[in-house]
Chain A
Amino acid sequence: MFANFRQSMAWLHTWYGLVLGFVLMVVFFFGSLSVFDREIDRWAIPETRFEPQPMPSFDKMLLPILQKVEPHEVDYNAQMPILHDHNQGPMTPRLELPAEEYWAYTTHRDPVLIMGAGFGVPKPKDPEGHNHIHGDVTIDPRSGKLVSDEALKIGSGWFYPMHYGLHLGWKNLGYWLVGLASLTMLIALVTGIVMHRKIFREFFTFRPEKKIQRSSLDLHNMTGVLALPFHFFFAFTGLVIFAGWLYFPVAETLLKPLHHQHEVLEADKTGLPHERSGVPATLASVDAMVAEAKRRWAERDMAGEVGYLAISHLGDQNGYVSIYRAGSDRVALVGEGIHFNASTGELIREDPPRSTVGNINEFLTGLHLQHFEHWLLRWLYVLGGLLGSVCIATGFIFFVEKRKQRYAQKNSQFIRVVDAVAVTVVTGMLIAAVGMLVANRLLPVEFENRDSWEKNAFWGLWILAFVHAMIRSGPVSKALMNPAWREQSIAIAVLAVLAVGLNWMTTGDHLIKTIFTQTYWPVAGVDLSLLVTSGIALWVARILKLREQASLPIVTLKSKTIESGEVAHV
C-alpha cells in the first residue's frame, strides 16, 4: 500500500491526527485551563474570594453539617434502581438512606471545603459490592455557611471535567474518547518523529514570513518537538490514571472474586475492618485524632496539614477514621495516612512508606494531577499545554492548506467541512469558554437554575461558532482562507475584555484593586489572562486580515504552479 515505512507513518499521523485531533484539542486546551481551575472558580463565585483555609474543626463545624447532607437526587435516581434488589421490596426513599461514610477534602488552593457522605443501600442486589449513593456540599470553612449548589464551579466543575470526560456521561463515552485520543497522541508523537526528516536541523525553525502552509508546518513541528517530553508524559500519565479502573477494569470484571478476597485479606493485615459489625457505636473526637496525626507527621519530619479525611463504617463498632496529609510540597498526591478507631480514637495503623512501584505510580499520577504548591511549575504546565494546543491547531491548518487547492479543483466540499470544524475547535472553543465567563457575570445570582444557563451559554456559543464557521467557509472551496478564523478571533477579543469589565462592574474587583490595594491573585490572574488573550486575539485577527488580502491573487494561479508550491509534511 505504501512505498516505505515513513510514508505509512505519515498516513497514520495525518489521518489519526485529524480524526482524534479535534478531541485532543479540547483535552489540551481545557487541561491547560484546569491548571488554574480553583482560581477560575474564585472568579466565577465571588462570595468565595478569600484566602485558602486549613481544614476546620471536624467536631465543632464539619460533623453537624455532614449530619444534614442528603443523598444527591440525580445520583439516587441513577444508581438506586441499579443497586437495589427489587425482589426484597420497594426502594428505600432517598431521605431515609443511612449515612455510612463521611469525607472532607481540601487543598492549599481551596478557600472553600468540599465534603460529603456515602449513604448505604439497605437492600442491595450485590451485598459484597460498594453500594453507596452520594451527597456532597461545599462550605465556607470560616463560618460553615453552605455555598449554593447553583453556583457553578466553572473551573473545577466544568472546564476540568471537560478535559478528561468531555461532559459525555453516557456509558462513560467521554472518558473512552479522551483515552482513545491520548493513545492517538502517543501514536502521533512516535509517527511524527519517524516522518520528520529534519528533526534536529529544524529544532528552532519557524518562518512566519513564508506561505501559511510552510509556516504552519514549522510551528507544528517546533511546538511538537520542543515540548515532546511534556506531550508524551501527559498523554501517557493521563492513560495511567484511568487504566486501572476504566480501561482495564479487571478488578471489577474478570478478577472480581479475587479482588474481593484480596480486599478481605488486606483488611485483616492492616486491621482496617472490611465489613460493618452491625454493633452500633458512637464517634470519638476526630479533632483529637487530627492532632495526633499531625504530631506523628511532625515526628517523621513531615509536618503538614490535613488534605483528606474519611470516616468508614460510620456509627458502627468497626468504624475507623483515616487522615491523610496534604501533599502540597511534593509531586505525589495526599499520603502518609494514619488510621484510628472511630469509637475509641485509638491508633489502628500508620501507612508504611510506599513500595518502589507505589512511588512510581504516585509520581506519574501526581505529575499529571499537580496538587503541589509550585506556582512556577503550574505556569510552565500551562505553557506546555498551550504549546500542545498550538501543535494540534497548526496540524489542522497544515492539513487544510496542503489540500485546499486540490479540492478546489475537484469542486469537493470535504476540505471546507474540515476547515469549519477546525475553526470550531480552535477559536470556537475559546469563544465558548470566555463566553461562559461572560454569562456567569451577566446572569443574576438569584436566577433559577443559573448553573444550567451557564452551561447552555457554553454549548450554545460553541454551536453558534460552528454554524458561523460553516456559513463563512465558502472561500475555502475556492482555495482561499475562511474569514471565520479572523471574525471569531475578534469575537474572542471582545468577549475577553467584556468578561473583565463585567467582573469589575458586578463585584467591584478591578485589576488595580486585585493587584495593588487588596491583592487577590486568583482573580487578578484570570483577569490578566483574559486581557492577554484579548490582545493576542486582536493581533492574530490583524495578521489574518493581511494574510487574507495577500492570498486573494493565488486563485488566479494555474494548477501547475499550485501543485509545485506544496510543502511535503516532513
Chain B
Amino acid sequence: MFEAMWLILAAVLCLLGMSWISAAMRVHWRQLYPACNSEPNVNQLRVLGAVAFVLAGLCCLKADHASMAVLVWVMFLTGSAFLVAMVLTKQPALLRVICPKFLSRAHS
C-alpha cells in the first residue's frame, strides 16, 4: 500500500517536473499563453523541474529496492515526458494549472 503511494507520488512529481521543464522553453510557454506576450522565467522553472525529478527519485527509492527504483524512475521520466508532449500537442492550456502565469519573467 505504502509502495503504491510512493510510486503515485513519484509519477506526479515527474509529471510536474516535465511540465515545468517544458514550460521553461519559450516555444512551449507561448503554447500555454498564446494571447499573452510574457516570457517564461527559465531559471525558476528549470530549478522547479530539477527539484521535482530529485524528489521523484527519492520516492522511487522509498518504494523499491535501489536497483528497481532507478529503472522505475527513468521510465517515469520517459512516460511523463511523452504525456507532457501529447498534452502540449492537443490541449496545451491544461498545463496552465501546473505552470501559472506568475512563473513568467514579467511577474517574477
Contact = CB atoms under 8 A, between A and B. Distances in A.
Interface of A: 200-201, 203-208, 222-223, 226-227, 229-230, 329-332, 363, 366-367, 372, 374, 376-377, 380-381, 383-384, 387
A329 B7 CA distance: 16
A230 B72 contact: no
Nearest to B80: A226
Contacts of B7: 376
Interface string B2-29: 0000010000000000000010010110
Given A226-B78, A374-B64, A367 B86 contact: no
B85 interface: yes
B85 A206 contact: yes
A257 B39 CA distance: 69
Contacts of A226: 78, 81-82, 85
Contacts of B84: 204
Given A204-B85, A205-B85, A374-B68, 7 more contacts: A203-B25, A204-B81, A226-B78, A380-B72, A383-B75, A384-B75, A387-B82
Contacts of A200: 25
A486 B43 CA distance: 46
A331 B75 contact: no
A383 B25 contact: no
25 contacts: A201-B25, A204-B22, A204-B85, A204-B88, A205-B27, A206-B85, A206-B89, A208-B89, A226-B85, A227-B82, A329-B65, A330-B67, A330-B68, A331-B65, A331-B67, A367-B71, A374-B72, A376-B7, A377-B71, A377-B75, A380-B75, A380-B76, A383-B79, A383-B82, A387-B82
Interface in B62-108: 64-65, 67-68, 71-72, 74-76, 78-79, 81-82, 84-86, 88-89
A377 B88 CA distance: 25
Contacts, number: 73
A363 B65 CA distance: 12
Contacts of B72: 374, 376-377, 380
Chain B interface, DSSP helix/strand/loop, else mixed: helix
Interface of B: 7, 22, 25, 27-28, 64-65, 67-68, 71-72, 74-76, 78-79, 81-82, 84-86, 88-89
A227 B64 contact: no
B41 to A, nearest CB: 18
Contact of A204 (B28, B68, B74): B28
B87 to A, nearest CB: 9
A324 to B, nearest CB: 18
Contacts of B82: 222-223, 226-227, 383, 387
Nearest to B77: A229
A208 B89 CA distance: 8
Contacts of B88: 204-206
Contact of A203 (B22, B76, B78, B89): B22
B78 A330 contact: no
Contacts of A229: 74, 78
A405 B81 CA distance: 34
A331 B67 CA distance: 6
Given A204-B25, A330-B65, A376-B72, A222 B79 contact: no
A215 to B, nearest CB: 10
B85 A381 contact: no
A227 B78 contact: yes
Contacts of B89: 206-208
Nearest to B82: A226
B64 to A, nearest CB: 7
A542 B75 CA distance: 31
A406 B85 CA distance: 32
Contacts of A329: 65
Contact of A381 (B64, B67, B75): B75
Contacts of A227: 78, 82
B78 A230 contact: yes
Nearest to B23: A204
